[in-house]
Amino acid sequence: MQSGIVDSYDPREWAKSWELRQSQAHGNGPRPSPMLALGLAAAILTTGALTAWMFHEAPSAAPVRATTAATPAKQTGPGEVRRTLVISRATDLPQLLTAQGIDPALSQQLAASALPALDPAGEVRAVLVLDTSSPKPRFVRLEASNADSSGVVVRRDPAGQITTARVVAQVSEKIFVQHGVMDGDSFYSSAVAVGIPNSLIPVFAKALAFDFDFQREVAAGDAFETAYTQKVNASGEAVGAPTLLYASLTTASKSASVYRFVPPGAQEEWFDASGRSAVRSLMRTPIDGARITSKFGMRYHPTLHYNRLHKGVDFAAPIGTPIYAAADGTVTGATPTGCGGNMVVIQHDKGLQTRYFHASRYAEGLHAGQHVMQGQTVSYVGVTGTCTTGPHLHYETLVNGEHVDPLGIPTDNSGKVLAGPELLAFEAMRDRVDVGRAQQQQ
Ligand SMILES: [Zn+2]
C-alpha cells in the first residue's frame, strides 16, 4: 500500500491526489463496493489507502485515560475500601488484581469469572471492593464494565464461593445534527469545524456522489447539513461508531438531501425524502479521474484514417486504472477483439448494454454469465487492439442494440423507488430524523 496518499479528507483533494498518482503503478486494491464506486471516494478506496483510515474508530467523547489509573480508595462499608481502576484491555485484569494485593491464584480465578462478560479488545472500568479490616486485604467484590456499561459483578463469600452476575448495557441512541458552510479550504475542515465525526465525512461524500461532482461543483459558501446517530452509555460517552442518517448539500446551482435506509435484506442506500433512491441507473463515467479525449460522433479516425462514427467516448487514463461496471448487469462478453482489444460487454436491464475496450487485463475471474454490481471493477485500462494509439478506455452504451452517446444517456430517472411496507419503514425513519433536525434547529 502506498502511504501518505491521503493527506486530506477533502474529496476534492482526493481527486487531486488521484490525478497526481496517475503516473504511479496501480496495484490490486480492494474492490470498491458498488455504492462507493462512483466518484472520488472510490478513487482512493481502489488503492486501499483510505480503507484503513475509514475503519478507524470514531473519536469518542470519553476522555483519554492512562492505561491503568486508580482513584483514591473510598470507604464503603465497615472495613471495606472501594477502588476504581481503568484498564485498556480486559486481559490485563489478573495482573491488575494481583497488583492490588490479591493472591495471584485467586486473581486468575476472579479474572476467569469476569472475562466472558468483558469486551476483550476494549477499555474496562473495574471497581474493586476489598475488606481491609485484617492486615491482608480480602477480596469482596469486583464490578467490571465495558464502554457500553455492560459488564459483570464477581463476588466471593467468606467461604470462598465465587458467584457472577451479568450487567446489561445501558445504552441509548441519540441523533446529532450539524449545519455548516464550506470554507475556502476543504470540505474536511468545514465538516470538522461543526463537529462531524471524521469517519462520517467520506460517507457524506458517498451519499451525495450521485448528485454532486465534489471536485467541480462544490465551492466555498455552499451549505451542508448532516444528521447522525450515536449510541451513548449511561455517562453520556460515545459507544461504538456513529452512523450517518442524513446528508444535505446546497450549492449555487442545486440542492440535494438524502436519507439513509436499509431495505430488509439489502445494503444501506440513500433516498430522497419521497423514497426515491439517490443511486442512478448508470454511473456518469465508468472510470475515475480520467480525461475525455474523444466524444461520441463523426470524426477522422487516427489509425483507420477516414471519417467514421465514433461510437463511444474515449477516456485517457494510465494503464492499470480500474474500469467499473456502469450499472448492475450480467457480463455477456469478456474476450479479445481485433480493433478494440480486450473487451467487456455487460447487459443491463431496460435494453441497456455497456461495452468497454482496450483493457490491459480483466478483473480476476471475470467471465461471461457473471453478475456484476454497479461500480465493480471489470477490467483495467490498457492499449490492446489495433485501433488505439495510447492507453485509454473506449466506452460504448447501446439501447436496444443502437449506439447512443454515453454522455447523453439520462442517468437521473430510473433509481429504485420505495413502496409498500418498505416505504412506510423509510418514512418512519425519515420522520425520526426530521424531528431530530427540527429540535436542534431551535
Ligand atoms: Zn474510442
Would you identify the CATH topology of the domain 291-404? Answer: Glucose Permease (Domain IIA) (2.70.70)
How confident is residue 216, by pLDDT bands cut at 50, 70 and 90? low
pLDDT band at 185 (very low <50, low <70, confident <90, very high): confident
* CA gap 263, 280 in Å, rounded: 17
pLDDT tens-place string over residues 256-305: 999 999 988 887 889 999 998 877 767 767 887 678 888 888 877 666 66
Q: For residue range 389-399, list pLDDT tens digits in order.
A: 899 999 999 88
Q: Which residues are near ligand 1, the ion (C-beta closer than 5 Å)? A: 314, 394
Between 174 and 10, name the one with better pLDDT.
Answer: 174
pLDDT given for residue 390 in this prediction: 92
Instruction: Write down the pLDDT at residue 74.
Output: 52
CA 213/CA 130 separation, integer angstroms: 62
CA 216 to centroid of ligand 1, rounded, Å: 25
Residue 357 CA to ligand 1 centre (angstroms): 8
Residue 300 C-alpha cell reads as: 477522422
Tell me the CA–centroid distance for residue 340 and ligand 1, in Å: 9
Ligand 1 center to 295 CA (angstroms)? 8
CA of 386 to the centre of ligand 1 (A): 12
What pLDDT does residue 95 have? 92
pLDDT of residue 3: 33
For residues 35 and 131, the model is more confident at: 131
For residue range 332-354, list pLDDT tens digits in order.
999 999 999 999 999 988 788 99
Q: How far is the CA of 48 from the centre of ligand 1 (A)?
A: 30
Cα(360) to centroid(ligand 1), Å: 15
pLDDT of residue 109: 94
- Alpha carbon of 335 to ligand 1 centroid (Å): 17
**Residue 394 CA, ligand 1 centroid: distance in Å:** 4
Confidence class for position 161, pLDDT limits 50, 70, 90: very high
Q: How far is the CA of 404 from the centre of ligand 1 (A)?
A: 13
Residues 405 and 398: their CA atoms lie apart, in Å, by: 8
**Residue 56 confidence (pLDDT):** 30
- pLDDT of residue 368 exceeding 80, the answer is yes
Gap between the Cα atoms of 304 and 207, Å rounded: 43
pLDDT for the residue 29 = 34
For cell 478513487, what's the residue? 43
Distance of CA 385 from the midpoint of ligand 1 (Å):
11
Say what the pLDDT of residue 197 is: 92
CA–centroid distance, 288 to ligand 1, in Å, is 17
Residue type, 45: L
pLDDT band per the 50, 70, 90 thresholds, residue 41: very low
227 near 176, Cβ under 8 Å?
Answer: yes
- 16 has a pLDDT exceeding 80: no
Q: Averaged over 36-64, what is the pLDDT?
A: 31
Residue 63 has pLDDT above 70, yes or no: no
Q: Phi and psi of 82, rounded to 5°?
A: -125, 125
* Distance from residue 293's CA to the centre of ligand 1 (Å): 9
The pLDDT score that the predictor gives to residue 169 is 82
Q: What is the mean pLDDT of residues 417-425?
A: 91
Ligand 1 center from residue 369 Cα (angstroms): 25
Go through 274-300 and write b for each residue having 16 or more CB atoms within 10 A of its CB, e for each that does not.
Answer: ebebbbbbbbebbbbbbeeebebeeee
Query: Residue 13 and residue 208: Cα distance in Å, rounded?
Result: 16
> How much distance in Å is there from the Cα of 18 to the middle of ligand 1?
23
Kindly indicate the confidence band of residue 177, based on its pLDDT and cuts at 50, 70 and 90: very high
Tell how far the Cα of 258 is from the centroid of ligand 1, in angstroms.
Answer: 36
Looking at residue 42, what is its pLDDT?
31
**How far does residue 154's CA lie from ligand 1's centre (Å)?**
72
- Element (H or E) spanning 145, and its range? strand 138-145
Cα 319 from Cα 383, distance rounded (Å): 7
- Would you kindly state where each structural domain of the chain is located, as residue ranges? 11-55+172-271, 68-167, 291-404
Q: Specify the CATH number of the domain 11-55+172-271.
A: 3.10.450.350
CA of 405 to the centre of ligand 1 (A): 12
How far apart CA 245 and CA 233 sit, in angstroms, is 20
Instruction: Name the nearest CA neighbour of 181 among 220, 209, 216, 228.
Output: 220
Spacing of C-alpha 123 from chain mean position: 24
Average pLDDT score over residue span 386-408: 88
Higher per-residue confidence, 423 vs 239: 423
How many A from CA of 210 to the centre of ligand 1? 25
Ligand 1 centre and the CA of 393: distance in Å? Answer: 7
What is the distance in A from the centroid of ligand 1 to the CA of 358?
A: 9
List alpha helices for 161-280, DSSP H: 187-193, 201-207
CA pair distance 248, 222, nearest whole angstrom:
11
pLDDT at 399: 84
Which residues are registered as beta bridge partners of 334?
344
Other C-beta atoms lying within 10 Å of the C-beta of residue 107: 20
The CA 301 to ligand 1 mean position distance, Å, reads: 9
Q: How far is the CA of 25 from the centre of ligand 1 (A)?
A: 23
pLDDT at 415: 64
Instruction: State yes or no: pLDDT of 30 exceeds 60.
Output: no
C-alpha 310 to ligand 1 mean position (Å): 6
Bridge partners, residue 153, by sequence: 143, 165
314: CA distance to ligand 1 center in Å?
Answer: 5
Mean pLDDT across the chain: 79
The pLDDT tens digits of the residues spanning 88-119 come to 889 999 999 999 889 999 999 999 999 999 99
Determine the residue type at 211: D
Average pLDDT over residues 311-316: 91
The angle subtended at Cα 81 by Cα 115 and Cα 127, nearest 5°, is 25
Q: From the CA of 313, how far away is ligand 1's center (Å)?
A: 6
Distance 174 CA to ligand 1 centre (A): 52
What is the average per-residue pLDDT within 415-433? 90
CB 34 within 8 Å of CB 376: yes
Give distance in angstroms: CA of 12 to centre of ligand 1: 28
Q: List beta partners, residue 255.
A: 250
Q: What's the pLDDT at 85?
A: 86
Amino acid at 183: D
The separation between the first and the last C-alpha atoms of the chain, rounded to the nearest angstrom, is 46
Structural contact between residues 247 and 219, judged by C-beta atoms closer than 8 angstroms: no
Query: Stretch 202-216: mean pLDDT, rounded?
Result: 76
* HSE-up (13 A, CA, CB side) for residue 167: 22
- Is residue 50 predicted with pLDDT exceeding 70? no
Cα of 294 vs centre of ligand 1, distance in Å, is: 7
Residue 213: band (very low, low, confident or very high) from pLDDT cuts 50, 70, 90: low
pLDDT of residue 118: 93
259 within 8 A of 430, measured Cβ to Cβ: yes
CB 379 within 8 A of CB 365: no
Q: How far is the CA of 322 from the centre of ligand 1 (A)?
A: 17
Residues 130-139, mean pLDDT to the nearest whole number:
86
Separation between Cα atoms, residue 173 and residue 150, nearest integer Å: 15
Q: Choose between 288 and 86: higher pLDDT.
A: 86
| Highest mean pLDDT of the ranges 18-27, 166-175, 205-214, 368-377 | 368-377
Cα gap 357→352, rounded to integer Å: 17
